[in-house]
Amino acid sequence: MFSRLKRLRSLRFASGWSTALESRFGGLLLYFGAFMAVSALTRLALLVKAGGSVSWDASLVVSWILGVVFDLAAAGWWSLPLLMLLTVLPRSFFAYRLGRIAASISAVVVVGLLLFTAVSEWTFWDEFGVRFNFIAVDYLVYTTEVIANIRESYPMGWIFTGIGIGALLGLWSVWRLGWMERWLSHADMGWPRRYAWGGAMLAIIIAGGLLPSQDGLPPFANNYNRELAKNGPWSLFAAFRNNELNFDQFYVTLSDQEAAARVMARLAEPGAERIPSPNPLDPLRLIRREGPELRPNVIQITVESLSARFLTRYGNDEHITPHLDALADQSLVFDRFYATGTRTVRGMEALTLSLPPTPGRSLVKRPNNEGLFSLGSVFQSKGYDTAFIYGGYGYFDNMNYFFGNNGYRVVDRTLVPDEEITFANAWGACDEDLLDWSLREADAASAVQKPFFHFVMTTSNHRPYTFPDGRIDLPSKEAGRAGGVKYTDYAMHRFLEQASTRPWFKDTIFVILADHCASSAGKTALPVANYHVPLLIFAPGGQVAPGVVSRLTSQVDFAPTLLGLLNWSYPSRFFGRDVMLPDEPVNDRAFIGTYQKVGLLEKDRLAVLSPVRRTDLYRVGEEGEEKLDAATDRELMRDATAFYQTASRLYQQGAFKAYAP
């Protein structure tokens, strides 16, 4: 009796499933079935993999239920292309042989992609013990290194063969069970019904996609149980959106008390006084300077990819920066100045916020990055006109939003008349045009007798390295990077010549520096030499005397050093230091990093923090980096942890905000 009832129910289920397949959108049902099956098997495989670490209690049941919900939502979002095709394809498309062949090939590709994702999740979990996160996004960025690593680590030939066989077996199974035939034989549907059903399904999928983020999952006593509740593709999408690696989860940590104490000890300097704050991690302090403040204009020209090695001063023999080489003799030059990262937004973050490069993407691209304590907010508090001036479209990399909400007004290509653009490529107007706009903005501020601080970002020294003909003795594009560098050098010389005719010229300090180097690849994770960038401060009015600074410094020190040269008193949350102060060079350090690995350089030692709570120590010399036993300099490791942990947590807490007494 029981077996007969069970068989009857099975037949009813099979009948219901078959009936559901008999429509134009039956293919969508097959896709959902494949997605949910692969997702369930993936979660089961990960559970077996972590069997000795998970908590075998009720939370695992909750984890599985939540996982199914996220699997359904993810299946919906990833099915959108198929939904669109089934809606718009002609009524009788699948009645023809070509349509059925296309459906079969598409099924193999889809199942293959699902299986490839499952294998990727397995290998990712094997290394990190979590579902996809920003590290996986990082892997998509650094494809050369990642692909090489995968090829060396896994038998990719066999893996791809297995995926191919699995996809073909999947197609054979649905044909063998008759499911494919039932769908294709009933896929004829007129356009009114197709669009009505397609619109209704689209609404359901969008509603499912509005589920709370997986980051908002309830707390689990065991993080493995929490991770199993997630869906991998959904997590990958969320990582793109959130742009962050959780420091506490992936890096070594200290107690908040020790981290705060170490940071404040390293930030101590003459004339600095701690301002009480309810947050023990807050580095808020009052910087006091004796004597009158200087109030010159400041134009900061941040040059795309200007490695120090392009200047003759640092060993270049191509003479592609003749004007910068000459200007260096009239400027305050910082010979050991380092970029904090490998992308423009990292340089912007450090130069504007004076924060170490916290793991994940730059704060320029993260959510909740408004109203931060910035160099622009300090200048605004002193009554300055502050502007971000960019030759391209500033929506790229979220630049306009970041600067527009952190103490700057924005001037980019969208706000400039076409007649003011004489030459442009994909990245934006040429540097000559950009610097002409800067002259116009400076003239406007001067006309109303308002001091100004303008952050100017160039683009010409970027692939494809194109620029107006006849400016330099190298051909546009064909000369490559050398042509881009030399043209930018020419454009800045032209700008300074034109600025010298303005009444505000001698009341202005010109800063020339780089966002990052032209190349960051090396034999080690953080090749220090490939972070070395120039910094020149030129003051034609004599506000800053020419000279050479040989102390170790990085982009996070730019803001406090500039404000120190102006002799300003101000409340500060900056993590950088004024390197012009007469304190001991023993406090000198530089922050450098990638998306995953972050480092603290002191003297000839580099401490590197990596995911999975890994720490590495290197000796830095002219020949590169030599790996050492991390235990030989525990203090440097703890200081590095303190800086990055504190900076990460302050941002997460929303505590790194513009000061409001």
- Note whether residue 276 is domain-resident: no
Q: What is the mean pLDDT of the chain?
A: 89
| Pair 507, 371 in one domain | yes
Q: Tell me what pLDDT residue 5 has.
A: 39
CA pair distance 626, 605, nearest whole angstrom? 10
Query: pLDDT exceeding 70 applies to what percent of the chain?
Result: 91
Q: Tell me what pLDDT residue 188 has.
A: 84
| Pair 303, 231 in one domain | no
Summarised one tens digit per residue, pLDDT across range 300-318 is: 999 999 999 999 999 999 9
Which of 193, 215, 242 is the last residue before a domain boundary? 242
User: Which residues are CB-neighbours of 49 under 8 A, at least 6 positions away?
Assistant: 122, 125, 126
- Note whether residue 103 is domain-resident: yes
Query: pLDDT exceeding 90 applies to what percent of the chain?
Result: 58
| Pair 435, 523 in one domain | yes
| Pair 227, 370 in one domain | no
- Note whether residue 3 is domain-resident: no
Higher confidence at residue 37 or residue 612?
A: 37
SS3 label, residue 526: coil
Higher confidence at residue 282 or residue 142?
A: 282
| Pair 83, 160 in one domain | yes
Q: Tell me what pLDDT residue 2 has.
A: 40
CA pair distance 44, 536, nearest whole angstrom? 58
Contact status, residue 383 vs residue 551, Cβ threshold 8 Å: no
- Note whether residue 641 is domain-resident: no
Instruction: Give the pLDDT mean for 235-248.
Output: 74
Higher confidence at residue 153 or residue 420?
A: 420
Instruction: Give the pLDDT mean for 157-165.
Output: 91
Q: Is the pLDDT of residue 642 over 90?
A: yes
Summarised one tens digit per residue, pLDDT across range 221-240 is: 777 888 888 888 888 877 77
Summarised one tens digit per residue, pLDDT across range 86-102 is: 888 888 888 888 888 99
Q: Tell me what pLDDT residue 521 has.
A: 58
CA pair distance 474, 459, nearest whole angstrom? 18
Confidence class of residue 259 from pLDDT cuts 50, 70 and 90?
Answer: very high
Q: Which of 610, 619, 620 is nearest to 641 (CA)?
A: 610
Q: Tell me what pLDDT residue 210 has.
A: 66
Lowest mean pLDDT among 136-150, 262-276, 290-304: 136-150
Q: Tell me what pLDDT residue 50 has.
A: 87
Q: Is the pLDDT of residue 346 over 70?
A: yes
Q: Is the pLDDT of residue 8 over 60?
A: no
Which of 588, 605, 630 is the last residue before a domain boundary? 588
Kindly report the CATH number assigned to the domain that includes residue 491.
3.40.720.10
Instruction: Give the structural domain span for 226.
Output: 18-242
Q: Is the pLDDT of residue 597 over 50?
A: yes
Contact status, residue 154 vs residue 123, Cβ threshold 8 Å: yes
| Pair 429, 534 in one domain | yes
| Pair 226, 328 in one domain | no
- Note whether residue 345 is domain-resident: yes
Summarised one tens digit per residue, pLDDT across range 380-431 is: 999 999 999 999 999 888 999 999 999 999 999 999 999 999 999 888 899 9
Summarised one tens digit per residue, pLDDT across range 122-133 is: 888 887 777 887
The number of distinct structural domains making up the chain is: 2
| Pair 133, 42 in one domain | yes
Distance of CA 93 to the CA centre of its chain: 44
Confidence class of residue 13 from pLDDT cuts 50, 70 and 90?
Answer: very low
Summarised one tens digit per residue, pLDDT across range 354-377 is: 999 999 889 998 889 999 999 999
CA pair distance 364, 405, nearest whole angstrom? 11
| Pair 403, 524 in one domain | yes
Instruction: Give the pLDDT mean for 158-165.
Output: 91
CA pair distance 504, 502, nearest whole angstrom? 5
- Note whether residue 631 is domain-resident: no
| Pair 358, 211 in one domain | no
Phi/psi at 579 (5° precision): -80, 0
| Pair 523, 457 in one domain | yes
CA pair distance 433, 43, nearest whole angstrom? 55
- Note whether residue 420 is domain-resident: yes
Q: Of the segments 208-212, 238-242, 522-526, 538-542, which one has the largest average pLDDT value?
A: 538-542
- Note whether residue 552 is domain-resident: yes
Summarised one tens digit per residue, pLDDT across range 448-465 is: 999 999 999 999 998 889
- As a whole number of Å, the end-to-end CA separation of the chain is 80
Instruction: Give the pLDDT mean for 277-289.
Output: 94
Q: Is the pLDDT of residue 284 over 90?
A: yes
CA pair distance 562, 568, nearest whole angstrom? 9
Which of 242, 265, 289 is the last residue before a domain boundary? 242
| Pair 313, 215 in one domain | no
Question: Tokens standing for 475?
Answer: 């051909």
